[in-house]
């Protein structure tokens, strides 16, 4: 039985168990005297060692392993008789050292094996197979640690963004409350209502995002697409009026089963994009048709159209042609559409404007 030593590592137990289970059947021979695994901790990147001996009486002290490790080439396969200078370091009767670099991409990560006689070619091949298993384990540990660090960083960032957004929304609500009872024109009243609706909508979406990790699936409801687009159009009324843009849509309803917030985000992103590229006095036209259990929704503007050669890259993160754009709106839109089993694509119309087409599965309205 392999006797293991205790080391100060959060994953040392798992690594030792892996080594014992892997080495015992592969090299469970009297010739195996001791072994040591040298690896870099994935967080601190400082080198740690896990070591063991077959018999407590043949124990190799930590400082001896350190000296052996330091005197060997960092990434080379070494196998053979120990030089006299190295033999003098060891308090055990062994004459052969095998050093196998691990396949982790990190320098000086390797498995050291001490034996009392040479290993056969078959045993050397078994030893190499063991190092591949250990390498895979360490690579997975490294990837898991990095993913945990990224998740923690994102959680901290999300918390900071939430605080700043709620603080800003609170200030907007405070300013709006001061308008209560004030004499406003009809246009001023409309602007105030739109601002209040927008703040409420942003707050709801922020709550939905922050609770998404605790929800297994979105909240599905039967949504009247015509009504939702009309409501979202009211939110953008100030921008439409400022550019004298006319918003057109069919006069017949159509229903979808979807999360209203997510479907509203798709509509907002497409409409915001169309407004940004529309000329003064232009027209943005919505259309939809239901067929074969699906709904085809389209939005068409009178702007310059899709840039030649842009293709599917317009849905890639960071791609934007808007001066103040961030390149995430269409990426998020595509992901939402895909999550419902739908499809989205874009093209330039014969008249020169951009047309975005979205297909969603359809259901009938609830009775």
Fill in the DSSP letter of residue 299: E
Q: In this structure, what DSSP letter does residue 56 have? A: G
Give the confidence band of 3 by pLDDT, cuts at 50, 70, 90: very low
pLDDT at 355 over 70: yes
> What is the pLDDT, as a whole number, of residue 29?
46
Count of Cβ atoms closer than 10 Å to residue 182 Cβ: 9
Residue scoring higher pLDDT (147 or 351): 351
What single DSSP character describes residue 281?
T
Q: What are phi and psi of 260, to 5 degrees?
A: -55, -35
Q: Is the pTM of this model over 0.85?
A: no
Q: Render the burial of 139-152: b for 16+ CB within 10 Å, e for the rest.
A: bebbeeeeeeeeee
With cut-offs at 50, 70 and 90, classify the pLDDT of residue 144. confident
Q: What is the mean pLDDT of residues 254-272?
A: 89
Percent of the chain with pLDDT over 90: 15
Q: pLDDT tens for residues 234-259?
A: 888 888 888 999 999 999 999 888 88
- Domains along the sequence of the chain with CATH: 3-147 (3.30.450.40), 217-367 (3.30.565.10)
């Amino acid at each position: 039985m392999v006797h293991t030593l205790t080391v100060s590592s959060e994953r040392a137990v798992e690594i030792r168990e892996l080594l014992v289970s892997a080495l015992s059947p592969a090299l469970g021979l009297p010739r195996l005297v001791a072994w040591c695994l040298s690896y870099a901790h994935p967080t601190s990147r400082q080198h740690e060692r896990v070591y063991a001996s077959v018999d407590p009486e043949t124990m190799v002290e930590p400082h001896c392993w350190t000296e052996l490790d330091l005197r060997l080439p960092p990434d080379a396969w070494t196998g053979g008789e120990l030089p006299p200078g190295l033999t003098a370091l060891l308090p055990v009767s062994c004459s052969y050292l095998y050093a196998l670099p691990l396949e982790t991409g990190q320098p000086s990560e390797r498995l050291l094996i001490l034996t009392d006689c040479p290993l056969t070619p078959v045993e050397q091949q078994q030893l190499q197979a063991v190092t591949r298993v250990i390498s895979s384990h360490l690579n997975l540990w490294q990837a898991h640690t990095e993913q945990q660090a990224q998740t923690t960083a994102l959680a901290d960032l999300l918390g900071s963004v939430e605080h700043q957004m709620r603080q800003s929304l609170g200030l907007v609500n405070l300013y709006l409350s001061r308008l209560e009872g004030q004499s406003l024109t009809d246009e001023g009243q409309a602007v105030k209502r739109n601002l209040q609706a927008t703040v409420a909508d942003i707050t709801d979406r922020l709550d939905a995002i922050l609770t998404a990790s605790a929800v297994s699936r979105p909240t599905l409801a039967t949504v009247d697409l015509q009504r939702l687009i009309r409501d979202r159009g009211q939110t953008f009324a100030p921008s439409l009026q400022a550019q004298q843009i006319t918003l057109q849509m069919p006069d017949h309803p159509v229903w979808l089963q979807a999360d209203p917030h997510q479907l509203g985000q798709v509509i907002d992103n497409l409409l915001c994009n169309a407004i940004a590229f529309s000329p003064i006095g232009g027209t943005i036209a919505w259309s939809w048709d239901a067929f074969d259990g699906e709904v085809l929704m389209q939005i068409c503007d009178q702007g310059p159209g899709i840039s030649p050669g842009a293709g599917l890259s317009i849905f890639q993160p960071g791609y934007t042609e808007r001066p103040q754009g961030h390149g995430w709106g269409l990426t998020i839109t595509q992901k939402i559409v895909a999550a419902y089993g739908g499809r989205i694509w874009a093209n330039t119309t014969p008249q020169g404007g951009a047309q975005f087409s979205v297909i969603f599965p359809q259901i009938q309205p609830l009775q």
